[in-house]
Amino acid sequence: MATADPATKEKVRALVREVLKSVPAETQPTVTEHVIVNSLKAQAARDWDRDESAKSLITEDDLRGLEAGSRLRVASNAKFTPLAGDLVAEKGIVLITKESRDIGLKVRSIAIGADHGGFPMKEQLKGWLGEIGLQVRDFGTTSTDSVDYPDFAHAVAKAVSGKQVDAGLLVDGAGIGSAMAANKVPGVRAAACYSPALAKNSREHNGANVLTLGSGQVTLDEAKSIIEAFVTTEISEDRHKHRVGKIDSIDREYRR
């Protein structure tokens, strides 16, 4: 292959130089700043290391994994099993009491229950009930597996009738069946309510001691508003008490 003459080589070099002129100058590579989210930093900003404030009874399992000197957030009415109490003392766990919302509660304790249709809402409401200052006793159900609502309505109603709690809350699909079942228990006055106004009326006029909700009828926020109206209202006027007394008289008549 013949070697190109000097003139041709110079033309090629000139052409290469022209091409290179059209290529943009190399820029410095862009450096992307990576932001590292440090969950430990967020945790340190809190006043506690673990939150168990939704529970009224703290067991040794609730303390599992906590290191010495850890900070545990608990409800103001929380009780400890003997072993849990020993672990708190041995590890020097610092207890931080959660402040309850002061909404003017007229009841202090509540039994809750639900069938499979009401289970998800019951679970969402359970922690919130503790937050507003109520001591909660959960009578089930414990999953979305199909169950019979009268069983749980009966359990909650018995707790109310036996004065184990101040009031009851039941959640099923419509709120009607649970009210019917609960009202078969002596001393129980269950009301299915779909608005705060009805909940307030059921307490103020009818002395209701069990509230039933339909998970398919109200949203979670609506349920909270209804419950808040129920637990912050009580019967006070004599004319209403007189009429509720007649309801109780009918109840007693058919229990003879």
Q: How confident is the model at residue 44 (pLDDT cuts 50, 70, 90)?
A: very low
- Specify the pLDDT at position 43: 46
C-alpha angle with apex 216: 210 to 217, nearest 5 degrees? 70
Q: How confident is the model at residue 216 (pLDDT cuts 50, 70, 90)?
A: very high
Q: What is the DSSP letter of 192?
A: E
Is a pLDDT exceeding 60 seen at residue 84? yes
Question: Which domains are seen in the chain, by residue range?
Answer: 39-98 (no CATH), 109-248 (3.40.1400.10)
For residue 81, the one-letter residue type is: T
Burial of 1 (0-12, 13-18, 19+ CB in 10 A): exposed
Catalytic positions, written as ranges: 205
pTM of the model: 0.65
Alpha-carbon gap, residue 215 to 154, rounded angstroms: 19
Alpha-carbon gap, residue 165 to 160, rounded angstroms: 5
Instruction: Put residue 6 in one of left, alpha, beta given phi > 0 → left and psi -120 to 50 → alpha.
Output: alpha
Alpha-carbon gap, residue 132 to 98, rounded angstroms: 10
User: pLDDT tens-digit profile of 141-191?
Assistant: 999 999 999 999 999 999 999 999 999 999 999 999 999 999 999 999 999
User: pLDDT tens-digit profile of 191-214?
Assistant: 999 999 999 999 999 999 999 999
Helix (H, G, I), strand (E, B) or coil at 96: strand
- Specify the pLDDT at position 45: 54
